[in-house]
Amino acid sequence: MDQLFELPDVYHLALLSLTKTETIIIFAFLGLIIGSFLNVVIYRLPKMIHSHWHEQAHDFLEIPIKPDEEKISLLWPPSYCPQCQHKIRFFENIPVISWLLLRRKCSACQINIPIRYPAVEIISALLSAFVAYRFGPSAEGLLMLVVTFHLIIITAIDLDHQIIPDSLVLPLLWLVLICSVLGVFQPPSAAIMGAVVGYLCLWSISKTYKLIRHVDGMGHGDFKLLAVLGAICGWQSVFIIVAVSAFIGLAFALPLLLKKTSMQTAIPFGPALAIAGWITIIFVPL
């Protein structure tokens, strides 16, 4: 499909002047820096969602909210240690390096800093480098960077809280559909069809499971996430993503089955979908 909107010539010249190696380095560095912010989103967004649910419950029950309850956002207050409230200084917040220099401990209270923080930063950098290698300095590459960052956040939050926030997945879906109008990844008709097939695929499986077992087998966030991946890959790739995610999900569930955990134990499916979708976008020709 011909692009309806052409990017400025200056942008094209800037992109064309980059070699593949330079693009990979730039994307990896960008991923490393943004990975630090992803940690903030992973930690704070569920708290913001729970706070919003708390406010809604108080409003519904007509219970006054305490005025001294602190409200947080992704940008405020500045980063601090959750144990001792020590404000993290800029030189304590350098991706990976600060974690190593601080010997994995808070400089104030000496509590261990979880390895997840540098892990998210390193994973963000590595996946960004893969995106640069696959798509180069292109509109697809830039959009895929945004998608990758979202998938990292969704994976971590779903593992921790078993939710996929609408505030992450719905704007991403709209972004992908708008970019399809600009000729990025899929044409609009294919992107819309991919989103519809992606959503209905898991929706029908969930409804069938509920009819048989009389319990919900899957969250609606999974439906929306597969809709995003379907909009990027097209409807034909939806079934590849579902098949690959089923194997990944089984790998997550296997340790629980070996421990003879109850079959009613909830296992987040979002991480499996995110991993399978990212692999499909990177390695399967679109």
User: DSSP class of residue 103?
Assistant: T
Integer Cα distance of 82 and 64 in angstroms: 27
Whether 14 is covered by a domain: the verdict is: no
Domain co-membership, 127 together with 172: no
Whether 101 is covered by a domain: the verdict is: yes
Query: Residue 260 pLDDT more than 80?
Result: no
Domain co-membership, 174 together with 285: yes
Domain co-membership, 96 together with 169: no
Whether 159 is covered by a domain: the verdict is: no
Query: Residue 263 pLDDT more than 60?
Result: no
What number of other Cβ atoms are within 10 A of residue 84's Cβ? Answer: 12
pLDDT: which is higher, 45 or 20: 45
Whether 144 is covered by a domain: the verdict is: no
Domain co-membership, 171 together with 116: no
Domain co-membership, 277 together with 202: yes
Integer Cα distance of 231 and 196 in angstroms: 8
Domain co-membership, 132 together with 172: no
What is the pLDDT of the chain when averaged over all its residues? Answer: 85
Task: Provide the CA 180 distance to its chain's centre, in angstroms.
Answer: 20
Integer Cα distance of 187 and 231 in angstroms: 9
Whether 142 is covered by a domain: the verdict is: no
Percent of the chain exceeding pLDDT 70 equals: 87
Please tell me the least confidently modeled range out of 9-23, 52-66, 170-184: 9-23
Domain co-membership, 176 together with 89: no
Q: Are 245 and 122 contacting, i.e. CB atoms less than 8 angstroms apart?
A: no
Q: Of 214, 166, 232, 221, which Cα lies nearest the Cα of 199?
A: 221
pLDDT for position 165? 94
Residue 112: what are its φ and ψ, rounded to 5°? -65, 135
Domain co-membership, 207 together with 130: no
Angle, helices 20-60/139-161, rounded to nearest 10 degrees: 40
pLDDT for position 75? 81
Mean pLDDT confidence for 110-139: 92
Ranked by mean pLDDT, the top range of 45-54, 70-79, 141-150 is 141-150
Whether 131 is covered by a domain: the verdict is: yes
Q: Are 162 and 207 contacting, i.e. CB atoms less than 8 angstroms apart?
A: no
Domain co-membership, 124 together with 24: yes
pLDDT for position 240? 94
- Give the bridge partners for 105, in sequence order: 112
pLDDT for position 163? 92
Q: Of 7, 240, 274, which Cα lies nearest the Cα of 141?
A: 7
Whether 8 is covered by a domain: the verdict is: no
pLDDT: which is higher, 6 or 1: 6
Q: Are 27 and 131 contacting, i.e. CB atoms less than 8 angstroms apart?
A: yes
Please tell me the least confidently modeled range out of 17-21, 173-177, 236-240: 17-21
**pLDDT, tens only, 186-213:** 999 999 999 999 999 999 988 887 788 7
pLDDT: which is higher, 249 or 237: 237
Range of the domain at 47: 19-136
Domain count, the chain: 2
Domain co-membership, 98 together with 180: no
Domain co-membership, 178 together with 283: yes
- Tell me which residue has tokens 């390193």: 122
Domain co-membership, 284 together with 169: yes
Please tell me the least confidently modeled range out of 42-56, 71-85, 98-112: 71-85
